[in-house]
Amino acid sequence: MALTTRRRALSTLGAALAGTVALPAARAAADEHPRGTQPLWRAHAHNDYEHPHPLLDALGHRFGSVEADIHLVGDQLLVAHDPVDLDPSRTLESLYLDPLAARVRANGGCVYRGYHEPLQLLIDIKTEGSSTYLELDRHLRRHRHLFTTYAHGRVRPGPVTAVISGDRAARVPMEAQTVRRAFFDGRLADLGSSAPASFVPLISDNWTLNFTWQGEGAFPDAERHKLRGIVQAAHRRGQRVRLWATPDLAGPARDAVWAELLAAGVDHLNTDDLAGLETFLDTHR
């Protein structure tokens, strides 16, 4: 999707929601930033912490969304996919929160200098959701000026928007808060539910559980119609869409799926291949 088209769509959604959800358009015009320097807001770094330099590699490839899996161990939030990989030195604070705070200070209040659209930090809870979220909330409050905040019915954009995924039990304490610095990652079952975009700004689900096509041959018409219907339904409510478990092996099949996701207006393309998605999005702007 062209940047001007994306900005127009986000602006329309924001106006329709009258300030209830943070979906700001990029405020820097494309012609002010040469190709190759503009943030790739649709690029999502799946399991970002597995790269040699967590967060920094994704930012170096201009990604607009990164994912960190967390485990509650005592009062520490350790970043890893599986318990066997836990390392006391690899905390959410050290790998993500502190570096983001430093970068925002250095860039005059932005993750990407000159762009005020928030970076999405998708935090996937791997331990029991309610207790882990309550500890996470304490960590986020230490960086209260860094995060988009929901307070008493209104969303106040910040440089980073934290979205909570993983164990669904996190939803209960989050819904009880009148002030929070995080939002909930919904599933397709939440599409069209009573949950507002100010609580569920993102709809995520597993591609393989909803679509059979893996990029070989033609995209079945019925599945293309389904994909576009999902995106349109989400966008009408001011929500964004992410699908995980899409093909991620470099080649024509992956490019075909990515092209269909772009054409449908999917907001975040999921990948472990930072350079591959960066090149694809630069080519398909």
What does each of the 285 residues of the chain score in pLDDT, given as a tens digit?
Answer: 444 444 444 443 343 333 334 433 443 434 455 567 899 999 999 999 999 999 999 999 999 999 999 999 999 999 999 999 999 999 999 999 999 999 999 999 999 999 999 999 999 999 999 999 999 999 999 998 999 999 989 999 999 999 999 999 999 999 999 999 999 999 999 999 999 999 999 999 999 999 999 999 999 999 999 999 999 999 999 999 999 999 999 999 999 999 999 999 999 999 999 999 999 999 997
Tell me the residue ranges of DSSP E strands in 138-283: 149-151, 154-156, 160-166, 179-180, 183-186, 202-206, 240-244, 268-271
Tell me the residue ranges of DSSP E strands in the chain: 40-45, 63-73, 76-79, 119-125, 149-151, 154-156, 160-166, 179-180, 183-186, 202-206, 240-244, 268-271
CATH number of this structure's domain 3-283 = 3.20.20.190
Q: By CB neighbour count within 10 A (0-12 exposed, 13-18 middle, 19+ buried), where does 194 fall? A: exposed
pLDDT in tens, 157-202: 999 999 999 999 999 999 999 999 999 999 999 999 999 999 999 9
Q: Which residues pair with 204 in a beta bridge?
A: 242
The token pair that represents 115 in the structure block: 């762009």
The domain ranges of the chain are 3-283
Cβ-proximal residues to 55 (8 Å cutoff; 6+ apart), any chain:
48, 66, 95, 96, 99, 100
| Neighbour tally for 142: CB within 10 Å | 11
Q: How far is CA 33 from CA 9, 88, 89, 178, 218, in A?
A: 20, 40, 37, 38, 36
Sheet order of strands, 154-156 included: 154-156, 149-151, 179-180
CA of residue 139 relative to chain centroid, distance = 19
